[in-house]
């Protein structure tokens, strides 16, 4: 009997075309932070990231320190932001420093531990604001505008060896074009930014839009957008505008 084989083919030309389509949406107003978490959603993080980098993309998003290290060891020299939780252990802090990886900050205690372990070294960081995703971040929601939030962020910014250059939020259902919740979240994010700036607390980089918002809610495009699935020609929901994306993966039998 002849053994049948099944394999997956990844079309990097399609990925590059999708990068071009997304950049055309941005019109030069925002830059692209390419999310390549979970092995680039199964497309192969290392070689997919290299193809995206060749398109001029200068920032990548991953979910863990190990994913970030994998990119560095695959000769990805662009900026890398860990979007998820990282245990602030000595081993992980050494990796952040050695590989020049940017860490998401989600509370004061975590940041103080990172700062203490870092010693004389600098760790780059972005603060995440929870505006209703209810997953990770310093809370600023319609139900919970914690009066301590601004003070917490001020204390984080004051740590000498934490270079807190960015701030962002994450949308819960931006794939739904008819939902008002994305605009509610964005308004909350804008509100906390304005309050911070009135206290002379500024961030160089601001970002909010994920794949759904990149297509559906162009008003949420800030310094960067964070497309994930749409890089690979996939839509995160059915109620989205057709952007002409090209699927990058084919299952072969």
CATH level 3 topology of 11-238: TIM Barrel (3.20.20)
Give residue-wise pLDDT tens across range 199-243.
Answer: 999 999 999 999 999 999 999 999 999 999 999 999 998 878 899
- The pTM assigned to this predicted structure is 0.95
pLDDT confidence of residue 1: 58
Give residue-wise pLDDT tens across range 29-85.
Answer: 999 999 999 999 999 999 999 999 999 999 999 999 999 999 999 999 999 999 999
pLDDT confidence of residue 3: 72
Beta strands (DSSP E) in the chain are 7-10, 31-35, 59-62, 79-82, 102-105, 123-130, 138-139, 162-169, 205-207, 224-225, 249-252
- Give the whole-number percent of the chain exceeding pLDDT 90: 87
- The structure tokens 């193809």 sit at 51
Q: Where are the domains of the chain?
A: 11-238
pLDDT confidence of residue 44: 96
Report yes or no: 36 and 49 within 8 Å, Cβ to Cβ: yes
| CA distances in angstroms from 89 to 65, 92, 116, 123, listed in the order given | 11, 5, 11, 14
First to last CA, the chain: 16
Q: Which of 35, 93, 36 is nearest to 65 (CA)?
A: 93
Q: Helices H, strands E: what count in the chain?
A: 9, 11
What is the chain's mean pLDDT, rounded? 95
DSSP 8-class letter at 249: E
Q: Which of 104, 98, 92 is nearest to 121 (CA)?
A: 98
* pLDDT value at 196 more than 80: yes
For 249, list phi and psi in degrees, rounded to 5.
-115, 135
Q: Which residues pair with 81 in a beta bridge?
A: 61, 102
Q: Which residues contact 150 (CB under 8 A, 6 or more apart)?
A: 192, 195, 196, 199, 201
Q: Which of 106, 107, 63 is nearest to 83 (CA)?
A: 63
């Amino acid at each position: 009997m002849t053994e049948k084989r099944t394999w997956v083919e990844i079309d990097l030309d399609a990925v590059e075309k999708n990068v071009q389509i997304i950049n055309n949406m941005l019109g030069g107003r925002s830059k692209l932070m390419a999310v390549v978490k979970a092995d680039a959603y199964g497309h192969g993080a290392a070689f997919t990231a290299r193809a995206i980098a060749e398109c001029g993309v200068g920032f990548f998003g991953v979910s863990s320190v190990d994913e970030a290290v994998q990119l560095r060891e695959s000769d990805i020299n662009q900026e890398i932001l860990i979007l998820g939780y990282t245990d602030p252990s000595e081993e992980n802090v050494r990796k952040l420093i050695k590989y020049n990886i940017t860490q998401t900050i989600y509370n004061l205690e975590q940041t103080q531990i990172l700062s203490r372990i870092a010693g004389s070294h600098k760790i780059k960081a972005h603060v995440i604001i929870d505006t209703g995703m209810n997953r990770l971040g310093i809370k600023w929601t319609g139900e919970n505008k914690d009066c301590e939030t601004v003070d917490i962020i001020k204390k984080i910014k004051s740590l000498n060896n934490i270079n807190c250059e960015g701030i962002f939020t994450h949308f819960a259902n931006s794939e739904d074009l008819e939902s008002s919740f994305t605009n509610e979240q964005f308004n909350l994010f804008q509100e906390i930014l304005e309050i911070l700036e009135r206290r002379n607390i500024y961030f160089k980089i601001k970002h909010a839009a994920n794949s759904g918002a990149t297509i559906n809610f162009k008003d949420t495009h800030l310094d960067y957008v964070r497309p994930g699935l749409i890089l690979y020609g996939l839509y995160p929901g059915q109620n989205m505008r057709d952007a002409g994306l090209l699927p990058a993966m084919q299952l072969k039998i």
